[in-house]
Amino acid sequence: MGQTNNNLNNVTASLAKNKLLTDCYRHMQSDDLMLPTIPDVAFKIRRAINDDKSSTSSIARIVQIDPSITARLIQIANSPLYMGRKKIESCPEALTRLGLKTAQDIITAFAMKSVFNAKSHVIRQKMAELWAHSSYIASISAVFAHKIPGFDPDRAMLAGLIHDIGIVPILTYADNHPDILANPKDLVETVKELRADIGVQIIRHWDFPEDFEEVVINAENWFRNNNNPANYADIVMISQLHSFIGKVDIKKIPKIDALPAYKKLAGHLDANDSINILDTAKDEIEHIRQMLA
């Protein structure tokens, strides 16, 4: 009980001195924090795919409204993750090879970059850094999922992209209220305290799969241990830990092979694949990063 009171006191103290945290927390609690909207093309595609009357050709017509997404959809259909005997050259062919549910997740991933935007130079830079990090995690997650039975690379890619989506409304609020950022630590603290809770609100707002909530909540919950089968939260967690290699002091991050998530996934992977994925699959990872960029 004493520990609970101490935690509550710490949060109360933080709220008192950090206006960004105070405002975002208040708006989150009253459910009126400005959340990003799912990009229009992704919304239309998701609606069309879930309409029993839609056909591949009618869905292709919607996709082709955005030439850049059409080009990247064809590109990923010809990538090592999906490549077949014949080179794909049209949108309908790409949709047929990938399957509509897969295409839906891929298109959503491609369209999501527009969410990571801001007016001020400082916050725009932070949005760019967040997108770069998220797309890197998405790329590693897709490659992992391709090697593990029972997982879809496209869904893993989307899971990687949304694992930090809860940071976006915080940055947007700071962008619209530049006067409340007293110092950089305010932003760091606000992200730490609210990222997961806001992320869950967005997942529900976008009507994304329920298990993506677990991805958002457990992205850095390194020692989460349960008896459930491995899921996308485990893949994203291990991918994120890989992304820190060479960028974060090794003493500040847990050893990969000590994590419960790693032990769940290791049974489906060659040891070299799982520990040295950045080297063994660097071309695949870079290919996906470039497509997302």
Cα distance between residue 150 and residue 138, in whole Å: 17
Tell me which amino acid residue 106 is. I
Supply the mean pLDDT for the chain: 85
What are 187-195's contacts with CB under 8 Å, separation 24+? Answer: 187/20, 187/126, 189/14, 189/18, 189/21, 190/18, 190/20, 190/21, 190/24, 191/167, 193/11, 193/14, 193/21, 193/25, 194/21, 194/24, 194/25, 194/28, 194/166, 194/170, 195/164, 195/166, 195/167, 195/170
pLDDT in tens, 151-175: 998 899 999 999 999 999 999 999 9
Q: pLDDT at position 85, please? A: 76
Q: What is the pLDDT along the chain (293 residues), one digit of tens a residue?
A: 555 555 555 555 555 578 999 999 999 999 999 999 888 888 888 888 888 888 888 888 888 888 888 888 898 888 877 777 789 999 999 999 988 888 888 888 888 888 999 999 999 999 999 999 999 999 999 988 888 888 998 899 999 999 999 999 999 999 999 888 767 889 999 999 999 999 999 999 998 989 999 999 998 888 888 888 889 999 999 898 888 877 776 677 788 778 888 888 876 665 555 566 667 778 888 888 887 87
Q: pLDDT at position 118, please? A: 94
Q: pLDDT at position 14, please? A: 58
Cα distance between residue 53 and residue 146, in whole Å: 31
